[in-house]
Structure 1
Amino acid sequence: MRLSTGIFTVSRSESAVTAILLDLADRFYGDLDRDGDAAQKSLSRALAAPLVRNSGYYQGMSARTNSGRERLLGAAHRLFYAHGINNVGTDTVIEEAGVAKMTLYRNFNSKDDLVAAYLQERDTWWHQKLMERINEPGQTPKEKILSFFEMFAEWVKDPDFHGCAFINAHSEHSQGPEAMKAIKSHKDSFYRILRKLVADSGAEDPDSLAEQLFVLMEGGIVVSEMSRKSSPAARARTAAEALLNGHAYE
Protein backbone atom coordinates (compact mmCIF):
# COMPACT_ATOMS: atom_id res chain seq x y z
CA MET A 1 0.00 0.00 0.00
CA ARG A 2 1.22 3.53 -0.78
CA LEU A 3 0.41 6.69 1.10
CA SER A 4 0.46 10.26 -0.20
CA THR A 5 0.89 13.40 1.87
CA GLY A 6 0.50 15.77 -1.06
CA ILE A 7 4.29 16.29 -1.12
CA PHE A 8 5.59 12.77 -1.59
CA THR A 9 4.44 9.15 -1.74
CA VAL A 10 6.01 6.44 0.39
CA SER A 11 5.56 2.72 0.92
CA ARG A 12 3.48 1.70 3.96
CA SER A 13 5.89 -1.20 4.52
CA GLU A 14 8.64 1.26 5.41
CA SER A 15 6.78 1.98 8.63
CA ALA A 16 9.44 3.87 10.58
CA VAL A 17 10.40 6.15 7.70
CA THR A 18 6.75 6.60 6.74
CA ALA A 19 5.80 7.79 10.21
CA ILE A 20 8.60 10.35 10.27
CA LEU A 21 7.87 11.69 6.80
CA LEU A 22 4.13 11.92 7.40
CA ASP A 23 4.75 13.73 10.66
CA LEU A 24 7.01 16.25 8.92
CA ALA A 25 4.37 16.85 6.27
CA ASP A 26 1.76 17.30 8.98
CA ARG A 27 3.92 19.93 10.66
CA PHE A 28 4.21 21.76 7.33
CA TYR A 29 0.47 21.82 6.66
CA GLY A 30 -0.42 22.44 10.27
CA ASP A 31 1.71 25.59 10.45
CA LEU A 32 0.01 27.02 7.40
CA ASP A 33 -3.43 26.31 8.83
CA ARG A 34 -2.58 27.93 12.17
CA ASP A 35 -1.26 31.00 10.38
CA GLY A 36 -4.65 31.35 8.70
CA ASP A 37 -3.35 31.03 5.13
CA ALA A 38 -6.55 31.36 3.07
CA ALA A 39 -5.16 29.55 0.05
CA GLN A 40 -4.02 26.63 2.18
CA LYS A 41 -7.39 26.43 3.89
CA SER A 42 -9.08 26.30 0.50
CA LEU A 43 -6.68 23.55 -0.49
CA SER A 44 -7.46 21.75 2.77
CA ARG A 45 -11.16 21.79 1.98
CA ALA A 46 -10.54 20.60 -1.57
CA LEU A 47 -8.34 17.76 -0.37
CA ALA A 48 -10.79 16.82 2.37
CA ALA A 49 -13.77 16.61 0.00
CA PRO A 50 -13.02 13.05 -1.21
CA LEU A 51 -13.28 11.87 2.40
CA VAL A 52 -17.05 11.93 2.21
CA ARG A 53 -18.30 9.15 -0.03
CA ASN A 54 -21.80 9.01 -1.44
CA SER A 55 -22.47 6.04 0.82
CA GLY A 56 -21.52 8.19 3.81
CA TYR A 57 -20.29 7.37 7.27
CA TYR A 58 -16.61 7.75 6.37
CA GLN A 59 -15.91 4.03 6.01
CA GLY A 60 -14.28 4.76 2.67
CA MET A 61 -11.97 7.48 3.92
CA SER A 62 -8.66 7.47 2.09
CA ALA A 63 -5.21 8.07 3.49
CA ARG A 64 -4.75 10.73 0.80
CA THR A 65 -5.51 13.78 2.93
CA ASN A 66 -3.69 16.96 3.69
CA SER A 67 -3.02 16.64 7.42
CA GLY A 68 -2.26 14.20 10.18
CA ARG A 69 -5.44 15.28 11.96
CA GLU A 70 -7.57 14.26 8.98
CA ARG A 71 -5.75 10.94 8.64
CA LEU A 72 -6.38 10.28 12.32
CA LEU A 73 -10.05 11.18 12.01
CA GLY A 74 -10.40 9.01 8.90
CA ALA A 75 -8.92 6.07 10.80
CA ALA A 76 -11.13 6.82 13.81
CA HIS A 77 -14.24 6.78 11.63
CA ARG A 78 -13.35 3.43 10.10
CA LEU A 79 -12.30 1.75 13.33
CA PHE A 80 -14.61 3.21 15.97
CA TYR A 81 -17.77 2.72 13.92
CA ALA A 82 -16.97 -0.81 12.77
CA HIS A 83 -15.44 -2.20 15.98
CA GLY A 84 -16.59 0.00 18.86
CA ILE A 85 -14.74 2.77 20.64
CA ASN A 86 -13.71 0.72 23.67
CA ASN A 87 -12.33 -2.03 21.44
CA VAL A 88 -9.96 0.30 19.57
CA GLY A 89 -6.94 1.83 21.28
CA THR A 90 -5.13 4.96 20.18
CA ASP A 91 -2.13 2.91 19.02
CA THR A 92 -4.41 1.09 16.58
CA VAL A 93 -5.76 4.40 15.28
CA ILE A 94 -2.21 5.72 14.85
CA GLU A 95 -1.16 2.60 12.92
CA GLU A 96 -4.24 2.73 10.69
CA ALA A 97 -3.68 6.43 10.00
CA GLY A 98 0.01 5.94 9.21
CA VAL A 99 1.17 8.86 11.35
CA ALA A 100 3.65 9.33 14.17
CA LYS A 101 2.44 9.13 17.76
CA MET A 102 3.31 12.78 18.30
CA THR A 103 0.80 13.70 15.58
CA LEU A 104 -1.97 12.34 17.78
CA TYR A 105 -0.71 14.17 20.86
CA ARG A 106 -0.34 17.41 18.94
CA ASN A 107 -3.92 17.32 17.62
CA PHE A 108 -5.84 15.71 20.46
CA ASN A 109 -5.32 16.00 24.20
CA SER A 110 -6.82 12.59 24.91
CA LYS A 111 -8.76 9.71 23.38
CA ASP A 112 -11.91 11.48 24.58
CA ASP A 113 -11.01 14.48 22.42
CA LEU A 114 -10.47 12.19 19.42
CA VAL A 115 -13.80 10.45 20.03
CA ALA A 116 -15.55 13.82 20.38
CA ALA A 117 -14.03 15.05 17.09
CA TYR A 118 -15.09 11.83 15.36
CA LEU A 119 -18.66 12.26 16.62
CA GLN A 120 -18.75 15.96 15.74
CA GLU A 121 -17.76 15.19 12.14
CA ARG A 122 -20.46 12.54 11.90
CA ASP A 123 -22.92 15.07 13.29
CA THR A 124 -21.91 17.59 10.62
CA TRP A 125 -22.29 14.99 7.88
CA TRP A 126 -25.73 13.92 9.11
CA HIS A 127 -26.97 17.49 9.38
CA GLN A 128 -25.90 18.22 5.82
CA LYS A 129 -27.63 15.08 4.58
CA LEU A 130 -30.80 15.85 6.53
CA MET A 131 -30.95 19.46 5.33
CA GLU A 132 -30.64 18.28 1.74
CA ARG A 133 -33.62 15.97 2.25
CA ILE A 134 -36.00 18.31 4.03
CA ASN A 135 -35.12 21.33 1.89
CA GLU A 136 -36.11 19.64 -1.34
CA PRO A 137 -38.72 21.93 -2.94
CA GLY A 138 -42.42 21.20 -2.95
CA GLN A 139 -42.63 19.28 0.32
CA THR A 140 -45.25 19.92 2.98
CA PRO A 141 -44.14 19.86 6.66
CA LYS A 142 -45.63 16.35 7.00
CA GLU A 143 -43.69 15.15 3.97
CA LYS A 144 -40.51 16.62 5.43
CA ILE A 145 -41.10 14.67 8.64
CA LEU A 146 -41.51 11.47 6.66
CA SER A 147 -38.30 12.32 4.75
CA PHE A 148 -36.57 12.12 8.12
CA PHE A 149 -37.74 8.52 8.48
CA GLU A 150 -37.07 7.62 4.84
CA MET A 151 -33.47 8.79 5.15
CA PHE A 152 -32.85 6.40 8.03
CA ALA A 153 -34.78 3.57 6.36
CA GLU A 154 -32.39 3.86 3.39
CA TRP A 155 -29.33 4.05 5.64
CA VAL A 156 -29.99 0.78 7.49
CA LYS A 157 -29.79 -1.07 4.15
CA ASP A 158 -26.12 -0.12 3.79
CA PRO A 159 -23.93 -3.25 4.17
CA ASP A 160 -21.62 -1.25 6.44
CA PHE A 161 -24.45 -0.16 8.74
CA HIS A 162 -23.52 -0.78 12.39
CA GLY A 163 -26.23 1.20 14.11
CA CYS A 164 -26.21 4.80 15.28
CA ALA A 165 -22.68 5.87 16.19
CA PHE A 166 -24.04 8.17 18.90
CA ILE A 167 -26.18 5.49 20.54
CA ASN A 168 -23.29 3.05 20.26
CA ALA A 169 -20.90 5.50 21.90
CA HIS A 170 -23.34 6.26 24.70
CA SER A 171 -23.95 2.55 25.36
CA GLU A 172 -20.25 1.96 25.99
CA HIS A 173 -20.58 4.04 29.19
CA SER A 174 -16.90 4.91 29.38
CA GLN A 175 -16.83 8.02 27.21
CA GLY A 176 -15.39 11.19 28.65
CA PRO A 177 -17.18 14.53 29.05
CA GLU A 178 -16.34 15.90 25.58
CA ALA A 179 -17.65 12.80 23.82
CA MET A 180 -20.80 12.77 25.94
CA LYS A 181 -21.31 16.45 25.11
CA ALA A 182 -21.08 15.63 21.38
CA ILE A 183 -23.59 12.79 21.77
CA LYS A 184 -26.11 14.96 23.60
CA SER A 185 -25.65 17.86 21.18
CA HIS A 186 -26.38 15.62 18.18
CA LYS A 187 -29.54 14.08 19.61
CA ASP A 188 -30.82 17.40 20.97
CA SER A 189 -30.25 19.08 17.62
CA PHE A 190 -32.06 16.39 15.65
CA TYR A 191 -34.97 16.52 18.07
CA ARG A 192 -35.21 20.30 17.70
CA ILE A 193 -35.32 20.00 13.91
CA LEU A 194 -38.06 17.38 14.15
CA ARG A 195 -39.97 19.44 16.73
CA LYS A 196 -39.92 22.49 14.43
CA LEU A 197 -41.24 20.47 11.50
CA VAL A 198 -44.02 19.14 13.71
CA ALA A 199 -44.89 22.67 14.84
CA ASP A 200 -44.85 23.85 11.21
CA SER A 201 -47.36 21.12 10.36
CA GLY A 202 -49.91 22.77 12.66
CA ALA A 203 -50.01 19.94 15.20
CA GLU A 204 -52.20 20.75 18.19
CA ASP A 205 -49.66 19.30 20.64
CA PRO A 206 -46.26 19.54 18.91
CA ASP A 207 -44.24 18.53 21.98
CA SER A 208 -46.10 15.27 22.47
CA LEU A 209 -46.14 14.39 18.77
CA ALA A 210 -42.46 15.24 18.29
CA GLU A 211 -41.46 13.04 21.24
CA GLN A 212 -43.50 10.12 19.92
CA LEU A 213 -41.97 10.48 16.46
CA PHE A 214 -38.46 10.75 17.87
CA VAL A 215 -38.90 7.55 19.89
CA LEU A 216 -40.19 5.80 16.76
CA MET A 217 -37.22 6.97 14.73
CA GLU A 218 -34.59 6.00 17.30
CA GLY A 219 -36.30 2.67 17.96
CA GLY A 220 -36.41 1.80 14.28
CA ILE A 221 -32.66 2.36 13.98
CA VAL A 222 -31.82 0.33 17.10
CA VAL A 223 -34.05 -2.63 16.21
CA SER A 224 -32.73 -2.67 12.64
CA GLU A 225 -29.18 -2.87 13.98
CA MET A 226 -30.01 -5.57 16.54
CA SER A 227 -31.98 -7.72 14.10
CA ARG A 228 -29.71 -7.01 11.12
CA LYS A 229 -32.88 -6.31 9.12
CA SER A 230 -33.99 -3.14 7.36
CA SER A 231 -37.71 -3.74 7.91
CA PRO A 232 -37.95 -2.19 11.42
CA ALA A 233 -36.81 1.21 10.12
CA ALA A 234 -39.24 0.94 7.19
CA ARG A 235 -42.08 0.08 9.57
CA ALA A 236 -41.13 3.02 11.77
CA ARG A 237 -41.79 5.24 8.77
CA THR A 238 -45.21 3.60 8.24
CA ALA A 239 -46.04 4.04 11.93
CA ALA A 240 -44.94 7.68 11.77
CA GLU A 241 -47.32 8.33 8.88
CA ALA A 242 -50.20 6.74 10.82
CA LEU A 243 -49.31 8.82 13.87
CA LEU A 244 -49.28 12.01 11.80
CA ASN A 245 -52.61 11.19 10.17
CA GLY A 246 -54.23 10.43 13.51
CA HIS A 247 -53.07 13.58 15.28
CA ALA A 248 -55.22 16.65 15.81
CA TYR A 249 -54.23 19.79 13.94
CA GLU A 250 -55.13 23.42 14.53
Structure 2
Amino acid sequence: MTAPPRQTRESIISAAAKLFYDEGIRRVSVDAIADEAGITKRTLYYHFESKDDLVAAYLEQRDQPSFARFQQWFAEAEGPLPERIRTIFIRLAAFARHPKWKGCGFLRTSAELANMPGHPAIKIGAAHKRRVEDWLAGLFEAEGLGEPRMLARQIILLLDGAFAVVLLNRDPGYMETAGDAAATLVGAASSRLQPAAAGA
Protein backbone atom coordinates (compact mmCIF):
# COMPACT_ATOMS: atom_id res chain seq x y z
CA MET A 1 0.00 0.00 0.00
CA THR A 2 1.44 3.37 -1.07
CA ALA A 3 1.85 6.03 1.60
CA PRO A 4 -0.05 9.32 1.11
CA PRO A 5 2.04 12.03 -0.63
CA ARG A 6 2.19 14.20 2.48
CA GLN A 7 3.38 11.29 4.62
CA THR A 8 6.02 10.41 2.05
CA ARG A 9 7.22 14.02 1.93
CA GLU A 10 7.47 14.17 5.72
CA SER A 11 9.34 10.87 5.75
CA ILE A 12 11.87 12.26 3.27
CA ILE A 13 12.39 15.43 5.32
CA SER A 14 12.80 13.38 8.49
CA ALA A 15 15.42 11.16 6.84
CA ALA A 16 17.24 14.18 5.42
CA ALA A 17 17.16 15.98 8.78
CA LYS A 18 18.82 13.06 10.53
CA LEU A 19 21.56 12.73 7.92
CA PHE A 20 22.14 16.46 7.43
CA TYR A 21 22.48 17.10 11.16
CA ASP A 22 24.69 14.07 11.77
CA GLU A 23 26.98 14.40 8.74
CA GLY A 24 26.53 17.84 7.18
CA ILE A 25 24.62 18.71 4.04
CA ARG A 26 27.52 18.46 1.59
CA ARG A 27 28.51 14.96 2.69
CA VAL A 28 25.00 13.55 2.32
CA SER A 29 23.91 12.43 -1.13
CA VAL A 30 20.38 12.24 -2.49
CA ASP A 31 20.88 8.48 -2.80
CA ALA A 32 21.66 8.23 0.92
CA ILE A 33 18.53 10.20 1.80
CA ALA A 34 16.37 7.99 -0.43
CA ASP A 35 17.85 4.89 1.20
CA GLU A 36 17.26 6.29 4.69
CA ALA A 37 13.65 7.12 3.79
CA GLY A 38 13.09 3.72 2.18
CA ILE A 39 12.09 5.16 -1.19
CA THR A 40 13.51 5.44 -4.69
CA LYS A 41 15.44 8.48 -5.83
CA ARG A 42 12.73 9.04 -8.42
CA THR A 43 10.14 9.31 -5.65
CA LEU A 44 12.33 11.78 -3.80
CA TYR A 45 12.59 13.98 -6.88
CA TYR A 46 8.83 13.79 -7.30
CA HIS A 47 8.48 15.60 -3.97
CA PHE A 48 11.57 17.84 -4.18
CA GLU A 49 12.95 19.37 -7.34
CA SER A 50 16.51 19.39 -6.02
CA LYS A 51 18.69 18.72 -3.02
CA ASP A 52 18.70 22.49 -2.40
CA ASP A 53 14.92 22.40 -1.96
CA LEU A 54 15.30 19.55 0.51
CA VAL A 55 17.94 21.43 2.51
CA ALA A 56 15.54 24.37 2.75
CA ALA A 57 12.71 22.08 3.86
CA TYR A 58 14.99 20.59 6.52
CA LEU A 59 15.61 24.00 8.09
CA GLU A 60 12.00 25.05 7.68
CA GLN A 61 10.98 21.96 9.66
CA ARG A 62 13.42 22.91 12.47
CA ASP A 63 12.26 26.51 12.68
CA GLN A 64 9.07 26.30 14.74
CA PRO A 65 10.15 23.51 17.15
CA SER A 66 13.43 25.29 17.91
CA PHE A 67 11.72 28.62 18.49
CA ALA A 68 8.97 27.03 20.60
CA ARG A 69 11.61 25.34 22.76
CA PHE A 70 13.17 28.72 23.62
CA GLN A 71 9.75 30.09 24.48
CA GLN A 72 8.95 27.08 26.65
CA TRP A 73 12.24 27.28 28.56
CA PHE A 74 11.66 30.96 29.23
CA ALA A 75 8.06 30.38 30.32
CA GLU A 76 9.06 27.58 32.70
CA ALA A 77 11.93 29.53 34.27
CA GLU A 78 11.51 31.18 37.64
CA GLY A 79 12.89 34.38 39.05
CA PRO A 80 13.50 37.86 37.62
CA LEU A 81 14.06 38.48 33.92
CA PRO A 82 17.89 38.11 33.97
CA GLU A 83 17.60 34.64 35.52
CA ARG A 84 14.94 33.59 33.04
CA ILE A 85 17.20 34.60 30.15
CA ARG A 86 20.09 32.73 31.79
CA THR A 87 17.88 29.62 31.95
CA ILE A 88 17.76 29.45 28.15
CA PHE A 89 21.54 29.13 28.06
CA ILE A 90 21.58 26.60 30.90
CA ARG A 91 19.06 24.42 29.08
CA LEU A 92 21.08 24.68 25.88
CA ALA A 93 24.19 23.63 27.79
CA ALA A 94 22.32 20.52 28.94
CA PHE A 95 21.50 19.74 25.28
CA ALA A 96 25.15 20.26 24.35
CA ARG A 97 26.21 17.60 26.85
CA HIS A 98 24.36 14.94 24.85
CA PRO A 99 26.85 12.85 22.84
CA LYS A 100 24.82 13.33 19.64
CA TRP A 101 24.69 17.13 19.91
CA LYS A 102 26.40 18.78 16.95
CA GLY A 103 25.58 22.43 17.33
CA CYS A 104 22.99 24.69 15.77
CA GLY A 105 21.66 23.27 12.52
CA PHE A 106 20.95 26.74 11.17
CA LEU A 107 24.49 27.99 11.78
CA ARG A 108 26.14 24.83 10.52
CA THR A 109 24.11 24.95 7.31
CA SER A 110 24.89 28.63 6.77
CA ALA A 111 28.60 27.86 7.18
CA GLU A 112 28.41 25.13 4.54
CA LEU A 113 26.58 27.49 2.18
CA ALA A 114 28.69 30.58 2.91
CA ASN A 115 29.49 31.01 -0.79
CA MET A 116 25.79 30.86 -1.74
CA PRO A 117 24.14 33.83 0.04
CA GLY A 118 21.02 33.56 -2.10
CA HIS A 119 20.36 29.93 -1.21
CA PRO A 120 16.81 29.42 0.14
CA ALA A 121 18.18 27.65 3.22
CA ILE A 122 20.27 30.73 4.10
CA LYS A 123 17.13 32.86 3.94
CA ILE A 124 15.24 30.44 6.17
CA GLY A 125 18.10 30.37 8.68
CA ALA A 126 18.31 34.16 8.75
CA ALA A 127 14.54 34.42 9.22
CA HIS A 128 14.71 31.99 12.14
CA LYS A 129 17.42 34.01 13.88
CA ARG A 130 15.47 37.23 13.29
CA ARG A 131 12.39 35.62 14.81
CA VAL A 132 14.30 34.78 17.99
CA GLU A 133 15.74 38.30 18.07
CA ASP A 134 12.27 39.84 17.58
CA TRP A 135 10.91 37.70 20.40
CA LEU A 136 13.68 38.78 22.76
CA ALA A 137 13.22 42.42 21.80
CA GLY A 138 9.51 42.07 22.52
CA LEU A 139 10.24 40.61 25.96
CA PHE A 140 12.62 43.45 26.81
CA GLU A 141 10.26 46.10 25.49
CA ALA A 142 7.41 44.66 27.56
CA GLU A 143 9.62 45.02 30.64
CA GLY A 144 10.28 48.65 29.78
CA LEU A 145 14.00 48.16 29.22
CA GLY A 146 15.82 50.81 27.24
CA GLU A 147 17.02 49.97 23.73
CA PRO A 148 15.31 46.55 23.64
CA ARG A 149 16.45 45.85 20.06
CA MET A 150 20.11 46.48 20.87
CA LEU A 151 19.87 44.29 23.97
CA ALA A 152 18.23 41.51 21.93
CA ARG A 153 21.07 41.67 19.41
CA GLN A 154 23.62 41.41 22.19
CA ILE A 155 21.91 38.29 23.54
CA ILE A 156 21.78 36.78 20.04
CA LEU A 157 25.52 37.40 19.66
CA LEU A 158 26.16 35.64 22.96
CA LEU A 159 23.87 32.79 21.98
CA ASP A 160 25.29 32.13 18.53
CA GLY A 161 28.85 32.78 19.67
CA ALA A 162 28.38 30.18 22.38
CA PHE A 163 27.05 27.68 19.84
CA ALA A 164 30.24 28.10 17.82
CA VAL A 165 32.69 27.96 20.74
CA VAL A 166 30.99 25.00 22.41
CA LEU A 167 31.06 23.08 19.14
CA LEU A 168 34.73 23.91 18.66
CA ASN A 169 35.88 23.07 22.20
CA ARG A 170 33.26 20.48 23.12
CA ASP A 171 32.83 22.28 26.43
CA PRO A 172 29.20 23.20 27.31
CA GLY A 173 30.57 25.36 30.11
CA TYR A 174 31.02 28.11 27.52
CA MET A 175 27.25 28.14 27.03
CA GLU A 176 26.76 28.64 30.76
CA THR A 177 29.36 31.43 30.76
CA ALA A 178 27.49 33.10 27.91
CA GLY A 179 24.33 32.78 30.01
CA ASP A 180 26.08 34.58 32.88
CA ALA A 181 27.03 37.40 30.50
CA ALA A 182 23.48 37.58 29.13
CA ALA A 183 22.04 37.78 32.65
CA THR A 184 24.52 40.55 33.49
CA LEU A 185 23.48 42.57 30.43
CA VAL A 186 19.77 42.18 31.14
CA GLY A 187 20.32 42.87 34.83
CA ALA A 188 22.19 46.09 34.03
CA ALA A 189 19.38 47.21 31.71
CA SER A 190 16.84 46.40 34.41
CA SER A 191 18.73 48.28 37.11
CA ARG A 192 18.67 51.45 35.01
CA LEU A 193 14.89 51.44 35.45
CA GLN A 194 15.04 51.64 39.23
CA PRO A 195 15.81 55.38 39.68
CA ALA A 196 13.07 56.30 37.24
CA ALA A 197 10.61 54.05 39.04
CA ALA A 198 11.56 55.51 42.44
CA GLY A 199 11.04 59.05 41.26
CA ALA A 200 7.74 58.37 39.55
Q: Is the 8 A contact 1:69 1:103 kept in 2?
A: no
Normalising to structure 2: TM-score of the pair? 0.86
Residue 124 of structure 1 is matched in structure 2 by 64
Q: Is the 8 A contact 2:25 2:109 kept in 1?
A: yes
Structure 2 residue 130 is matched with structure 1 residue 211: no
Q: Is the 8 A contact 1:141 1:200 kept in 2?
A: no
Aligned in 2, Cα 1:213/1:111: closer, same or farther, shift over 3 Å? same
Offset of 1:196 from its aligned partner? 1.2
Structure 2 residue 105 is matched with structure 1 residue 165: yes
C-alpha separation between the residues in 2 aligned to 1:138 and 1:144?
A: 6
Aligned in 2, Cα 1:137/1:154: closer, same or farther, shift over 3 Å? closer
Residue 197 of structure 1 is matched in structure 2 by 139
Q: How does 1:134-153 map to 2 (within 5 A)?
A: 134-136=74-76, 140-153=80-93
Q: Is the 8 A contact 1:142 1:198 kept in 2?
A: no
Deviations 1:160-198 (A, max 9, x none): 111111111111125563212211111111111111112
1:94 to 24, 30, 34: 34
Residue 80 of structure 1 is matched in structure 2 by 20
**Cα root mean square deviation, aligned:** 2.0
* Gap runs ≥5 in structure 1: 1-6, 8-24, 34-66
C-alpha separation between the residues in 2 aligned to 1:239 and 1:138?
A: 18
Residue 10 of structure 2 is matched in structure 1 by 70
Secondary structure at 2:76's aligned position in 1? coil
**Could you say which structure has the greater relative contact order, defined with CA pairs below 8 angstroms and 6 or more residues apart?**
2
Residue 19 of structure 1 is matched in structure 2 by none
Offset of 1:90 from its aligned partner? 0.8
C-alpha separation between the residues in 2 aligned to 1:137 and 1:187?
A: 22
Structure 2 residue 182 is matched with structure 1 residue 182: no
Structure 2 residue 186 is matched with structure 1 residue 235: no
Secondary structure at 1:135's aligned position in 2? helix
Offset of 1:208 from its aligned partner? 2.1
Identical columns (%): 32
Q: Is the 8 A contact 2:83 2:183 kept in 1?
A: no
More helix, by proportion = 2
Q: Is the 8 A contact 1:145 1:194 kept in 2?
A: no
Q: Which amino acid aligns with 1:127?
A: F
Deviations 1:88-129 (A, max 9, x none): 111111111110122211211111110111101111211222
Q: Is the 8 A contact 2:110 2:122 kept in 1?
A: yes
* Gap runs ≥5 in structure 2: none
